[in-house]
Amino acid sequence: MSQDLSRYHRQMLIPGFGEEGQRKLLGSKVLVLGCGALGTVIANLLARAGVGHLVVVDRDFIELTNLQRQVLFDEQDVTDAIPKAEAARRKIAKINSQVKVTAVIDDVNHTNIEKLAEGCDAIVDGVDNFETRFLANDCAVKHGLPYIYGGAVGTVGMTYAILPHTERGDSPWEQAGAATPCLRCIFEQAPPPGMNPTCETAGVLSPAVSIISSYEVNETLKVLTGNWSAVCPTMLSIDIWANTVKQFKVKRAYDVGECACCKKRNFEHLAGLLSSATTTLCGRNAVQLSQPKDAAAPKLDFEELAQRLRAHGPVTASKFMLRADIKDNGAEYELTLFTDGRAIVKGTKEPNTAKSIYAKYVGA
C-alpha cells in the first residue's frame, strides 16, 4: 500500500529531495543516542520529516529542569516519572503515525551499541559525554555508518557530520568523494572528566541546543537522501551569545594523521578497553565509578571543580580527594572524587543513576 506523502509536500519541493528523497526517508532507520536537550529536538524533527524508524536510547527519567530545553516533554511527564525514551515514543506517535519509534531505556555502552545500530542508516549524537561519542565513532567506522556529532553547553555548540572511510572504500559517500575524518582523527583522545563544563555547572540556553540539533538533523536528511555533495565538510562552532560562527577545516586530519580508529581499525572503545566501570558498594547505598586507565590523560583539577560544584552544595577538597553534597531533582547525593579517576556516588545503589550524577556535575 502506497503511503500518503502529502504532509511532506513542502520539503519535497527542495531541490535534490523530491518524492524519491522522501521515500528514502520513509525507508530509513536512524539511531538517536540520548533523548535529552539535543536528542528531543533531533527525534522531533526527524519524525516530522518522515524518517521511517527511529531507535531512541536514553537511561534517564524526566526532571522539571529538563523542560526549559527538552522539547518533547511536559509537566505531566515529570509528574508521571516517565523515562525519556518512552515519553518521546508516546509524543512522536501523536505527531506522525507513519514513523515507528523503538524506545530503549538503557545506558549506551560497548556491550549493546552494535546491536542498537543494527540495520540503521545513520547514528545521530544527542549525548552529553565524549566516552559515548568515541564509542559511537568506533561503531560508525567499523560498520560504515554515517555519524552526526553534536554538543552544546552554555551558549556554545559544535557539530560535524562524519562520513567514515571504510575498510573496502566502497561506500556511496566514498564513491562520491565525500568521506571525512572520523572523530578520533580530530580529537585523539577524550578530554578527561572535569575538564569540560556541563549543563548543570555552566548552564545552557535552549536556542544553542536547538540550533545545533537542528543542524544535526539537516545533515542527517542530506545523508539519508544521498545528497553527499551537500554534506558540510567542516566542523561548525557557534556561540549564540558572542554572535560568532566558526568553521574548522578538518578534512586533512585523515591524510596527515595515523588515526587508531579509521586508519588502523583499532576499536578500543567498542572493545570496552577504554570504558568506565561501575561497582555497587555493599551496605553503603553507594556506587563506585572507575574511569578508563590512561597514563597520558590529565588528572582532575579539584580546584576548578570545587568552584563549579559549590553552586550546588558544600564542597571539601584537598590534593587527594574532593567531596561535594549535591541536591538533584529532590534527592541528595554525596559525590567523592579521587585523583586516580575513581568516584563514589553515595545516595543510590543504581549504576545508571550514579553515572547520570557524575555526567551532570563532573562530565564524562
Q: CA 274, CA 360: separation in Å to the nearest integer?
A: 20
Q: What is the mean pLDDT of residues 198-212?
A: 88
Name the band, by pLDDT with cuts 50, 70 and 90, for residue 165: very high
Residue 338, pLDDT score: 78
Looking at the annotation, which residues are catalytic?
Answer: 199
Give the domain CATH number at 321: 3.30.310
Tens of pLDDT, residues 111-153: 999 999 999 999 999 998 888 999 999 999 999 999 999 999 9
Mean pLDDT within 283-312: 76
pTM reported for the whole predicted model: 0.82
Give pLDDT, residue 179.
Answer: 97
State whether 243 and 347 are in the same domain. no
Q: Which helix (H) or strand (E) holds 238?
A: strand 234-239
In this prediction, residues 18-42 reach a mean pLDDT of 97
Count CB-CB contacts under 10 A for residue 203: 13
Indicate if the pLDDT at residue 202 is higher than 70: yes
Could you tell me the residue range of the domain that residue 48 belongs to?
6-256
- Is the model's pLDDT at 1 over the cut of 60? no
Is 268 contained in some domain?
no
Within the chain, residue ranges assigned H as helices are 9-12, 18-26, 37-49, 75-80, 84-95, 113-116, 130-143, 172-175, 183-186, 199-202, 206-224, 252-256, 302-309, 351-361
On whether both 198 and 292 belong to a single domain, the answer is no
Contact 322, 305 (CB under 8 A): yes
Name, of 33-37, 293-297, 305-309, 360-364, the range with top average pLDDT.
33-37
162 and 290 in one domain?
no
Q: With DSSP H G I counted as helix, E B as strand and the rest as coil, what are the percentages for the chain, rounded to 5? A: 35, 25, 40
The answer to whether residue 194 scores a pLDDT higher than 60 is: no
For the cut 80, the answer to whether the pLDDT of residue 220 exceeds it is: yes
| CATH number of domain containing 229 | 3.40.50.720
User: Which triple of cell numbers denotes residue 60?
Assistant: 534517564
Same domain, 223 and 321: no
Among 81-85, 212-216, 263-267, the range scoring the smallest mean pLDDT is 81-85
Residue 66 in any domain: the answer is: yes
pLDDT at 182: 97
Domain check: are 215 and 353 in the same one?
no
The side-by-side arrangement of strands in the sheet containing 122-125 is 100-105, 53-58, 29-33, 122-125, 147-153, 156-162, 234-239, 244-249
- Distance, in Å, from the CA atom of 6 to the CA atom of 128, rounded to the nearest integer, reads 36
Residue 68 confidence class, pLDDT cut points 50, 70, 90: very high
Mean pLDDT of 248-255: 94
Domain identity same for 295 and 167: no
- Nearest by Cα to 356 from 106, 135, 139: 106
Answer whether residue 262 is part of any domain.
Answer: no
Neighbours of 311 (CB within 10 A): 11
Domain assignment of residue 264, yes or no:
no
Query: Residue 352: its pLDDT value, please?
Result: 86
Own/partner long-range contacts of 185-191 (Cβ < 8 Å, ≥24 apart) = 185/250, 185/253, 185/254, 185/257, 185/259, 185/261, 185/262, 186/160, 186/235, 186/250, 186/253, 187/130, 188/260, 189/294, 189/296, 189/297, 190/130, 190/131, 190/133, 190/134, 191/130, 191/363
Tell me what the pLDDT averaged over the chain comes to.
Answer: 90
Beta strands in 109-182 (DSSP E): 122-125, 147-153, 156-162
Q: Do 176 and 219 belong together in one domain?
A: yes
Residue that is last in its domain, among 256, 287, 315: 256
Is 222 inside any structural domain?
Answer: yes
The answer on 245 and 163 residing in a single domain is: yes
Q: How far apart are CA 112 and CA 276, in angstroms?
A: 15
261 assigned to some structural domain = no
Q: Which amino acid is at 275?
A: S
Q: Closest Cα partner for 230 from 3, 1, 14, 13?
A: 14
The dihedral through the CA atoms of 182, 187, 190, 195 has a sign that is negative
Which of 227, 256, 285 delimits the end of a domain? 256
Secondary structure of residue 16 in the 3-state scheme: coil
Inside any domain, residue 178: yes
Residue 339 domain flag: yes
Query: Domains in the chain: how many in total?
Result: 2
pLDDT given for residue 193 in this prediction: 59
Domain boundary among 226, 256, 286: 256
Predicted local distance difference test score (pLDDT) of residue 82:
85
Q: Is the pLDDT of residue 3 over 90?
A: no
- Residue 303 shares a structural domain with residue 237: no
Task: Judge whether residue 5 has pLDDT over 90.
Answer: yes
**The C-alpha cell that represents 192 in the structure block:** 578527561
pLDDT of residue 70: 94
Which region among 72-86, 151-165, 175-189, 313-327 has the lowest average model confidence (pLDDT)? 313-327
Q: Are residues 193 and 282 in the same domain?
A: no
**Which cell numbers hold the place of 193?**
572528566
Q: Are residues 209 and 320 in the same domain?
A: no
30-44, 285-299, 345-359, range with greatest mean pLDDT: 30-44
C-alpha cell at 294: 590512561
* Residue 119 and residue 173 in one domain: yes
